[in-house]
Amino acid sequence: MLVTGANGFVGPWLVKALAAHGAKVSALVHSAIPSNTDANIQFVRGDITDFAAISKLIHESNIDTVYHLAANNINTGAGISPYHVFETNTRGVYSILEACRTAPHKVRAVVASSKEVDDCFTPASKRKHHPYMTSKAAAELITRSYMDTFGLAAVIMRSDNIYGGGDLNWQRLVPGTIRSLLQGETPTIRSNGLFKRDYVYVEDAVAAYLAVGSRLDNPEVSGRLFRIATGTATTVYDMVKQCACAAGKPDLEPRVLNEKSEERIDTLYSPEMEQTILGWKSQFSLEQGLARTVQWYRENLERK
């Protein structure tokens, strides 16, 4: 199996879970190769936009399943390179899928997507479009074209807000809040704190990927869009308070700036189809997930 984005946030969790289930995993990283003592994991340095190199890896390692998680995940602000976002998120996906399509043996693909794309497929949405959200929407459409035109066995996994240990994007709510709490600082909410989100613990998300991967040859699964969601919404304010409780500071009050923002307004999704077809539903409550997340940061934050 091949996992792209193996040194990102979700990628390392998925690599370890696949290896723990006995799979031989080629873990593609874009930067330095991390230390590794697991015989079932082989780290490979590479670029997801390098079609020739990806094809060679899939061929020579006899890869039968690709979990494509790698992406440029900066989803706000104008201080980005839209070129690099589109190169990574759009060219990256068709390079991966073309390598799967042209392999000398059957290769299936699981393509990670994001809740961010919902507004791209909602005609009534007035939300301003950011390169990240449009690049991920394009990636979904590209994947669909490989499914429909070439019969590629693939699945799109559109996730809500995944949180957990290993997320080092401090601009995100959960890691930024927990870092502030562990450093003795008061966490800040830039908006009014009333926006509601569905937060999925990372080990639940990984379980969803495993459930899909083990069923890719099932006609009820291949060619479908599945969502990684708990079906429960929590306000930003309440999420920060829950983080504070998990960090042992239940009486702490965050600073609410009440600034105007371009935050998306989420529609809550109930994952009944995922439970019926995949046998998957979230197993960790918010309290349990945050407790494990805070513990990870307590143990690892000083090293980062």
Which residues does the annotation mark as catalytic? Answer: 132
Backbone angles phi, psi at 199, to 5 degrees: -105, 125
- Spell out a b/e string for 148-179, using b for 16 or more CB atoms within 10 Å of the CB, else e: eeeebbbbbbbbbbbbbbbbeeeebbbbbbbb
CA distance 162 to 190: 20
Residue type, 151: G
CA distance 91 to 48: 8
Count CB-CB contacts under 10 A for residue 279.
11
Taking a C-beta distance cutoff of 8 angstroms, is the pair 92, 49 a contact? yes
Residue of 27, 103, 101 whose CA lies nearest to 67 = 27
